[in-house]
């Protein structure tokens, strides 16, 4: 047998996704390239590793055993690479972070230089809603979580990153001429909500409850991106984080409706379990953020305090 590490990685990904197309997407390869390597790998075994029933690909029992071995080999190779880097005095290991969906607009900027400087660090970043982020932290599946709403019952440590600002937004089909509207405007604007478990939804609902606003819920969608597109299409209005609508404001796909009491402000925090023993990689990242966060904010988010939005009243 003369299979390669690349073939092991491709077969492992195919076995995990049970799809050549999905495996190709996750590996950033073309579908034909994955198919060829999968065939070359299969040809080295007298027993089928996979089979196609209808249009669905299934991994055989023997293929599942090969996948387990492939994972062990890949893990050992990664460990060997990390040991080599550690021997050379370099920082090695995994950095695991979960982030709320709006975090995808800021977290990469707080990671790029750190990962670039430490080639031995493997980054695992999961972007999902607030409920799942907190669950992954609670289960000790990650080193850090990025949230804009702090959990109440979980013993955590926290580091403040930057402000999160939410505004009432709509498309440009309707002209809003007043410099500032009262909160009674919500009586006339059907609102589009995020799903339950979303930090944006939580912040939005808490504000509505505190102000006792007479809102009309139009629909519920499962991501800020979906909400944003629905607003652009004219299906309603919503309260969205400024960080995620910069381009749409500049392109005039969306407009901020100036309403008294806006923006709604919260803080993005990097949080971790108080009882967690941080790895050397996690400790190094925490030190990096504490030292560099202000420089990152000034260089990457200077527009955030600029003229894209009206001032709070």
CATH code for the domain of 212:
3.40.190.10
* Cβ–Cβ < 8 Å for 189, 237: yes
* pTM for the whole structure: 0.66
Q: Nearest 5°: phi and psi at 290?
A: -60, -35
Say how many Å lie between the first and final Cα of the chain, rounded.
Answer: 72
The half-sphere exposure of 83 on its side-chain side, counting CA atoms within 13 A, is 6
Asked whether residue 311 is domain-assigned, the answer is no
Of 80, 85, 76, 159, whose CA–CA distance to 121 is shortest? 85
Q: Nearest 5°: phi and psi at 129?
A: -85, 170
Angstrom distance (rounded) from CA 118 to CA 284: 10
In a shared domain, residues 273 and 131: yes
Asked whether residue 299 is domain-assigned, the answer is yes
By residue range, what is the domain housing residue 277? 92-162+267-305
In a shared domain, residues 70 and 38: yes
Better pLDDT: 207 or 305:
207
Each residue's pLDDT tens digit, 241-289: 999 898 999 999 999 999 998 999 889 999 999 989 888 899 999 999 9
Each residue's pLDDT tens digit, 42-51: 999 999 999 9
Of 202, 252, 209, 244, whose CA–CA distance to 101 is shortest? 244
In a shared domain, residues 112 and 196: no
The half-sphere exposure of 141 on its side-chain side, counting CA atoms within 13 A, is 13
Give how many domains the chain has, as a whole number: 3
Average pLDDT over residues 172-178: 88
In a shared domain, residues 255 and 272: no
Angstrom distance (rounded) from CA 130 to CA 100: 5
Q: Nearest 5°: phi and psi at 80?
A: -65, -40
Q: Which of 42, 61, 87 is the last residue of a domain?
A: 87
Average pLDDT over residues 159-179: 91
Angstrom distance (rounded) from CA 58 to CA 37: 17
In a shared domain, residues 190 and 225: yes
In a shared domain, residues 180 and 228: yes
Asked whether residue 200 is domain-assigned, the answer is yes
**Residues β-bridged to residue 166:** 241, 264
In a shared domain, residues 79 and 227: no
Angstrom distance (rounded) from CA 238 to CA 216: 11
Cα 77 vs. chain centroid, distance in angstroms?
28
**Residues β-bridged to residue 120:** 92
């Amino acid at each position: 047998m003369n299979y390669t590490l690349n073939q092991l990685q491709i077969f492992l990904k195919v076995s995990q996704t049970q799809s050549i197309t999905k495996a190709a997407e996750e590996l950033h390869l073309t579908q034909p390239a994955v198919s060829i390597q999968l065939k070359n790998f299969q040809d080295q075994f007298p027993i089928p590793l996979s089979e196609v029933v209808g249009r669905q690909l299934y991994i055989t029992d023997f293929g599942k055993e090969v996948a387990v071995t492939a994972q062990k080999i890949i893990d050992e190779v990664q460990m060997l690479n990390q040991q080599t880097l550690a021997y050379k005095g370099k920082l090695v290991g995994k950095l695991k972070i979960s982030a709320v969906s709006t975090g995808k607009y800021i977290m990469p900027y707080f990671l790029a230089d750190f990962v670039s400087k430490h080639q031995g660090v493997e980054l695992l970043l999961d972007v999902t809603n607030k409920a799942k982020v907190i669950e992954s932290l609670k289960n000790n599946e990650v080193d850090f979580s990025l949230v804009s709403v702090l959990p109440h019952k979980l013993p955590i440590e926290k580091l403040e990153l930057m402000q999160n600002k939410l505004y009432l937004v709509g498309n440009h089909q309707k002209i809003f001429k007043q410099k500032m509207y009262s909160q009674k405007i919500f009586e006339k604007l059907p609102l589009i909500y995020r799903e339950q478990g979303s930090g944006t939804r939580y912040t939005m609902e808490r504000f509505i409850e505190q102000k006792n606003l007479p809102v009309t819920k139009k629909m519920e969608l499962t991501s800020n991106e979906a909400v944003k597109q629905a607003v652009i299409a004219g299906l309603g209005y919503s309260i969205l984080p400024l960080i995620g609508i910069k381009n749409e404001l500049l392109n005039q796909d969306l407009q901020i409706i100036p309403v008294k009491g806006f923006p709604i402000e919260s803080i993005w925090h990097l949080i971790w379990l108080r009882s967690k023993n941080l790895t050397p990689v996690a400790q190094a990242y925490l030190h990096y953020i504490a030292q560099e966060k202000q420089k990152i904010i000034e260089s990457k988010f200077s527009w955030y305090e600029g003229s894209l939005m009206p001032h709070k009243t």
